[in-house]
Chains A and B, each alone.
Chain A
Amino acid sequence: MSDVLMIGIKVAAVLAAFLTLPLLVGQLEHKAMAHMQGRLGPMYAGGFHGWAQLVADGVKFLQKEAVIPAAADARVFRLAPAVALIPYLLVLVVIPIGPGLVAESLDAGLFFALAVTGVGVVGMLMAAWASANKYSLLGGLRGAAQLLAYELPFVLAAASVAMAAGTLSLVGIVEAWNPWWLLWQAPAMVIFFVAGMAEIRRPPFDMPLADSELVFGYLTEYGGLRFAFMLLAEYAGIVVVCALTTVLFLGGWRGPFLSNELGPLWTILKIFALSFVVIWARVSYPRLREDQLQRLAWQGLVPIALGQLVLTGVVVTVNS
């Protein structure tokens, strides 16, 4: 009985985090982006500085008609937003936010997280193909190319940290973490973060969406609640990538003081600091062209990631 209760509490906690954190990041994006552009951002919804803007947006999306194009593959079209969204929910299950505070501590947690994050891209490809729209398809192809290019440095950078910690468990990695890693694993951290941003197709890596040339890429035919789910998947993706970077490279719940008592606070703080960097990069940089995107991955990130892997291997071998 207590097991069932425990599972219920854990599921509720993960679901609550999944539903609130992306909205908080979205609101942060609204406001930070506005002020970076010399604007105020939403000011009316909810009364105080537009805090309820995303709630209002959600209500608006709910009221909209759910349109499925006549030529679309209706079942796949309907399923795609769920396939894009649910993997990020599953990743949150294995992310530890404090000492002992993790919904499900897997021995191969890192492997699970990377594999499941990759599934989110399948949702995008389903949306692209099922829409029966040339812009959607082009966006989907670009997204597939981007996935191929960036999944490699993403995994290599994560492998470096797993080698350094000697474990694939996310909890184990945080426990093995040492402040010295900030320097030693710095290239891997940058690569992981950049590749993660490309993986969730955030600007400046939003070539699959590219609203100025592909209408809205694979989301062109989506509207209403399905579009809202796709959008939620993007923000959940930010949370997941930032959480993974926090856990792998920034020491998770470890802070400068009171790591055991304030653990969850440190984790959340780091996640939001990284989310701010994601938003910051979006505001500061123009979109990378498709060839620049591929060049950055294959000629920049992959060689550096391999170099980091060699460095990590040498240091670990010498130390042991």
Chain B
Amino acid sequence: MSDLPGGGLARGLLITLRTLSRRTATQQYPDVQPKLPPRSRGVIGLLEENCTVCMLCARECPDWCIYIDSHKETQTPAIEGGRERQRNVLDRFAIDFSLCMYCGICIDVCPFDALFWAPEFEYSEYDIREMTHEKDRLAEWTRAVPPPPAHDPNGAAG
């Protein structure tokens, strides 16, 4: 068709007309929630019980956006005459999402499964300081993490 004189002009008109007849791809976001894939990476949640304050996440973070404060506590031995042990207690765990680049290295590097991707994404703020989520807020995000997929029955024997 483009070989005819004016064929290109007709093609241009045809393309716009075809687009007009199709449904638009627009999502009316604030009115209609987007259909995200089940394991979308929206925000990082913390499961505080699993954290051992090993600091691996904070050290691996390329943006240095994870803040961790802790102190050591001495535990009384479980049996009489046993040795006293020390354990780390988490005081502060905060992620500054104004710095975070959502690479997910902290989650991959955590040896104790204390960090998770959650699909929530509506946490914009008017003040940049509000973007630093303390551990109580991070614990809330953990609640939004979908349950892990069921085991593949053919995966591991027994």
Q: Enumerate chain A interface residues (CB-CB to B < 8 A).
A: 32, 34-40, 43, 280-281, 283-285
Are A39 and B9 CB-contacts (below 8 A) given A280-B16, A280-B17, A283-B16?
no
| Chain B binding surface SS class | helix
Residues of A within 8 A of B19 (CB): 35-38
Residues of A within 8 A of B25 (CB): 38
Asked if B22 CB lies within 8 Å of chain A CBs, one says yes
Residues 27-45 of B contacting A (Cβ, < 8 Å)? 28
State in angstroms the CA–CA spacing of A281 and B16 once bound together.
9
Give the interface centre of B17, B20, B22 by most chain A CB atoms within 10 Å. Answer: B20
Are A32 and B20 CB-contacts (below 8 A) given A284-B15, A285-B12?
yes
Q: Enumerate chain B interface residues (CB-CB to A < 8 A).
A: 9, 12-13, 15-17, 19-20, 22, 24-26, 28
Q: By the criterion CB–CB under 8 Å, are A38 and B24 in contact?
A: yes
Residue of A nearest to B27 (CB): A40
Residues of A within 8 A of B28 (CB): 40, 43
Q: By the criterion CB–CB under 8 Å, are A35 and B20 in contact?
A: yes
| Chain A binding surface SS class | helix
Q: By the criterion CB–CB under 8 Å, are B15 and A35 in contact?
A: no
State in angstroms the CA–CA spacing of A43 and B26 once bound together.
11
State in angstroms the CA–CA spacing of A283 and B18 once bound together.
13
Count of A-B contacts judged by CB separation below 8 Å = 33
State in angstroms the CA–CA spacing of A283 and B16 once bound together.
7
State in angstroms the CA–CA spacing of A43 and B19 once bound together.
19
Residues of B within 8 A of A34 (CB): 24
State in angstroms the CA–CA spacing of A295 and B16 once bound together.
26
6 closest cross-chain pairs (CB), A and B: A284-B12, A36-B16, A40-B26, A284-B16, A36-B20, A35-B20
State in angstroms the CA–CA spacing of A253 and B16 once bound together.
30
Q: Which of A36, A39, A283 contacts B26 (CB 8 A)?
A: A39
Residues of B within 8 A of A32 (CB): 20
Q: By the criterion CB–CB under 8 Å, are A280 and B26 in contact?
A: no
Q: Which of B9, B13, B22, B24 contacts A40 (CB 8 A)?
A: B24
**Chain B nearest Cβ from A32, distance in angstroms:** 7
Q: By the criterion CB–CB under 8 Å, are A39 and B17 in contact?
A: no
Residues of A within 8 A of B13 (CB): 280-281, 284
State in angstroms the CA–CA spacing of A280 and B12 once bound together.
10
State in angstroms the CA–CA spacing of A98 and B1 once bound together.
40
